[in-house]
Structure 1
Amino acid sequence: MDQLRYLELCEQRLTSLPDYVRKFYINRQANAYSSATLYQYLQEYVRFFSWLIDEQIVMVAEPRLIPLTALEKMKLEDIELYKIYLMNKRKTNHHKLSFQAVNRSINALNALWYFLTIEAEQADGEPYFYRNVMKKVKLLKSSETMATRSRHIGQKLLTGDKKHAFIDFMQMTYPKQLSNRQLASYQQNCERDVAICVLALTTGIRLSELAQANLADLKLEQLTVTVIRKGGQQDTVPIAPWGQPYLEEYVQIRQTRYATTANEHALFVAKYRGQAKRMSNYAIEKLVAKYSEAFGVRLTPHKFRHTLATDLMAATHSETIVATQLGQTTTQATHLYTHVVDDEQRAAMDKME
């Protein structure tokens, strides 16, 4: 889904939410939060406010009427009940919320309360209120150990030689499975499709960073790509050398194949009604799913990010290097990859009789 569509969806959601949520939204926009992230926040607020009304914790007719005082006086017990509600939803067949999804909901509420109690500024220079009940709310812990989670992830990655096998499959095996009509479309886009997967696998950049990259951001001589990270910060990301020839091949055909003009800055484009147009997040996700399903395992751009992180951890054994490559401000999330690459435990177990 592209940026404009997310902006439209955000505006639709804001009409059903209180004015102070719009002020939060404007504040985050000013701090370069992506429209996709903000839309997810607004979705969470609609769900939470609707639950408050359904449970008669707040006695109003609709979410947009919920006053600030309701949030100021919110009890810890109420938030804990909401957590239980979310946890119960994950146990039903129709709404399987993972513990990560529950934590995303809590984190969204944390962001709103932090804005209202710390960041917001009224005419007198003071925030809306000072009591922040969310400071007392704890995130859920995974029901699996980190090692179990990481091994589960590791089975669905293209680590080691598997990533090269996947690219070879895209170039040589995949077209043999196509009809003449499908083959024509493949031949139009094969260099671009390979370059998309290669750039993701050689950098670990996020899907949004991949879609928003411009041609000028790619520096093949230096083997870097410049992206805008979460929070609006610019970052120059190294590219693994093995990806260079695939990227060069796409850049060489980009203008002639897609009829790009000087006004189209996007790195990855599609031809739409005879004109080049930036590819959306959705188009890239769909592309990766198509090739990976044919390869035998459904993958996402985020799995490519995990792949790069895992290979980099195996090569460096440095959580700091992995976190820097991924554009993470801490090494907290990189513990996952230390377990993915830990073959010593398996080797030891194999020697047991």
Structure 2
Amino acid sequence: MDQQRYLELCEKQLANLPDYIRKFYINRQANAYSSATLYQYLQEYVRFFTWLVDEQIVAVPSIDQMPLTALEKMKLEDIELYKIFLMNKRKQNNHKLSFQAVNRSINALNALWYFLTIEAEQADGEPYFYRNVMKKVKLLKASETMATRSRHISKQLLTGEKKHDFITFMQVDYPNLLSNRQLASYKQNCERDIAICVLALATGIRLSELAQANINDLNLEQLTITVIRKGGQQDTVPIAPWSLPFLRDYCQIRKSRYLKEDNEQALFVSRYRGSAKRMSNYAIEKLVAKYSEAFGVRLTPHKFRHTLATDLMAATHSETIVATQLGQTTTQATHLYTHVVADEQRSAMDQLE
């Protein structure tokens, strides 16, 4: 989904929320939060306020009338009951929410209370209130060890030669699965589709960074791409050399095949009603799912990010290098890749005679 669509969805959500939520939204916009992240926050506040009304914890006719005093005087017991509600909530597939999803909800509430008690400023220079019940709320602990999670993830990665097998499949085998009509569309877009997957696998950049990249951000001579990281910071990311032929192939046909007379700066574009259009996050996700499903395992651009991180950890054994490549400010998240590499090392040792 592209940025403009997220902005439209945010406005729809804000129309049903109290005015102080809009002030929170403006504050986060000013601090370069992505529209996708802000939309997720707003969804969480709608869900929480709706629960407060449905459970008659706050007696208001609609969530847009949720008073600040209700948040100021919120009891720890009420937040704990909401956590239990989330832990037992069922998704469309009848599975319960993961502990990560529950923690995202709690973190969203943490952000709101922090804004209201610390960051917000009224006419007198003071925040809305000072009591922050969320300081007493603990996040859920992982229901599985990092090593167990890493083993689950490693089965869904294209590490080592598997990524080259996948790209070869896209080039050679995938066309044989198509009808004549599908084949025409494939021939139109194959260089672009391969370049998208290759760039994700060769850099580990996020889906949003991939979709928002412009043609001038890609430097094939220096093998780098400039992206805007979370928080609005610009970063120049190295690209693995094996990707160069595929990226060159796409760049050579991009203008003649897609742009015509258009002046679209987006790196990855599609033809829509005769004109070029930047590919959305959703379009890229759908593209990756289509090819990977045919390959035998449904993948996402985020799994490509995991793949790069795992390969880089295996090559460098440096959490700092991996964190820097991924645009992470700490090495906390990179412990996962240490476990994945350890699993691969154990597997290799088991094969020795």
- TM-score bin, normalised by smaller chain: over 0.9
Aligned to 1:206: 206
Note the 1:338-353 alignment, pairs <5 A.
338-342=338-342, 343-346=344-347
Residues 183-202 of structure 1 mapped to structure 2, 5 A cutoff: 183-202=183-202
State the one-letter code of the partner of 2:314: A
Per the alignment, residue 283 of structure 2 pairs with 283
Give 1:27's aligned residue: 27
Aligned to 2:169: 169
SS of structure 2 residue aligned to 1:276? strand
Using the TM superposition, give the Cα deviation of residue 144 of structure 1 relative to its aligned residue in structure 2, in angstroms: 0.7
Task: Give the match's secondary structure for 2:338.
Answer: helix
Distance 1:65 1:249 in 2: 56
Given the superposition, is the C-alpha separation of residues 91 and 348 from structure 1 closer, same or farther in structure 2, using an over 3 Å criterion? farther
Please name the residue that 1:74 is paired with.
74
1:251 is displaced (CA, Å) by 0.6
- Cα shift at 1:346: 4.2
Q: CA deviation at 1:74?
A: 1.0
**Structure 1: which 4+ aligned runs deviate by more than 2 Å?**
90-96, 259-263, 343-352
Q: Which residue of 1 aligns with 2:5?
A: 5
Query: 1:56: Cα distance to partner?
Result: 1.4
Distance 2:16 2:136 in 1: 28
Determine the structure 1 residue equivalent to 2:46. Answer: 46
Looking at structure 1, the residues matched to 114 and 194 of structure 2 have their Cα atoms a distance apart, in angstroms, of: 43
Q: 1:53·1:59 contact (CA, 8 Å) conserved in 2?
A: yes
Q: Is the 2:262–2:276 Cα contact (8 Å) retained in structure 1?
A: no
Name the structure 2 match of 1:330: 330
- SS of the aligned residue for 1:58 comes to coil
How far apart, in 2, do the equivalents of 1:262 and 1:312 lie?
Answer: 38
**C-alpha contact 2:159 2:311 (8 A) present in aligned 1:** yes
User: Residue in 2 aligned with 1:302?
Assistant: 302
Deviations 1:106-148, CA, capped at 9 Å, x for gaps = 1111111111111111111111111111111111111111100
- Tell me which residue corresponds to 2:245: 245
Equivalent in the alignment of 1:257: 257
Given that 1:201 and 1:304 are in contact with CA atoms closer than 8 Å, whether structure 2 keeps it comes out as yes
2-structure distance, mates of 1:90, 1:330: 33
Q: TM-score, normalised by structure 2?
A: 0.96
By how many angstroms is 1:167 displaced? 0.3
Relative to structure 1, is the Cα distance of residues 310 and 72 closer, same or farther in structure 2, using a 3 angstrom cutoff? Answer: same
Equivalent residue for 1:225? 225
Name the aligned partner's letter for residue 294 of structure 2: A
RMSD across aligned positions (CA): 1.6
Aligned length: 352
Q: Is residue 259–residue 274 contact of structure 1 (8 Å, CA) maintained in 2?
A: no
Separation of aligned partners in 2, 1:346 and 1:171: 30
> Which shows bigger deviation, 337-346 or 73-82?
337-346
Q: Which residues in structure 2 correspond to 1:53-72 (within 5 Å)?
A: 53-72=53-72
Give CA deviations for 1:38-60 in whole Å, capped at 9, x if unaligned: 11110000000011111111111
Alignment partners' CA distance in 2, 1:79 and 1:116: 17
Is the alpha carbon distance of 1:165 and 1:347 closer, same or farther for their aligned partners in structure 2, counting shifts above 3 Å? closer
- In structure 1, runs of 5+ residues without a counterpart are none
Q: Quote how far apart the aligned CAs of 1:200 are.
A: 0.2
Contact 2:121 2:128 in 1 (8 A): yes
* C-alpha distance in 1 between matches for 2:29 and 2:260: 30
Cα distance per residue 1:203-244 (max 9 Å; x no partner): 001111100000000011111101111111111111011111
Partner amino acid for 1:49? F
User: Partners of 1:93 and 1:154 in 2: how far apart?
Assistant: 24
Amino acid at match of 1:235: D
**SS of residue paired to 1:341:** helix
**SS of the counterpart of 1:47?**
helix
- Give distance in 1, aligned partners of 2:101 and 2:4: 25
- Measured after TM superposition, the shift of residue 273 of structure 1 is 1.4
How many Å apart are 1:95 and its aligned residue?
5.4
Determine helix, strand or coil for the equivalent of 2:208: helix
Relative to structure 1, is the Cα distance of residues 250 and 350 closer, same or farther in structure 2, using a 3 angstrom cutoff? closer
Of all paired residues, the percent bearing the same amino acid is 82
**Match of 2:271, SS?**
strand
- Shift of residue 23 of structure 1? 0.4
Following superposition, the deviation at residue 171 of structure 1 comes to 0.5
- Pair 349,138 (structure 1): closer, same or farther in 2 beyond 3 Å: farther
Contact 1:90 1:98 in 2 (8 A): no
Shift of 1:94: 3.1
Alpha-carbon distance between aligned partners in 1 of 2:82 and 2:2, rounded to the nearest angstrom: 32
Distance 1:210 1:72 in 2: 41
Amino acid at match of 1:76: L
Letter paired with 1:117: T
**TM-score between the two structures when normalised by the length of structure 1:** 0.96
Summarize the Cα distance change of 1:348–1:200 in structure 2 as closer, same or farther, 3 Å threshold.
closer
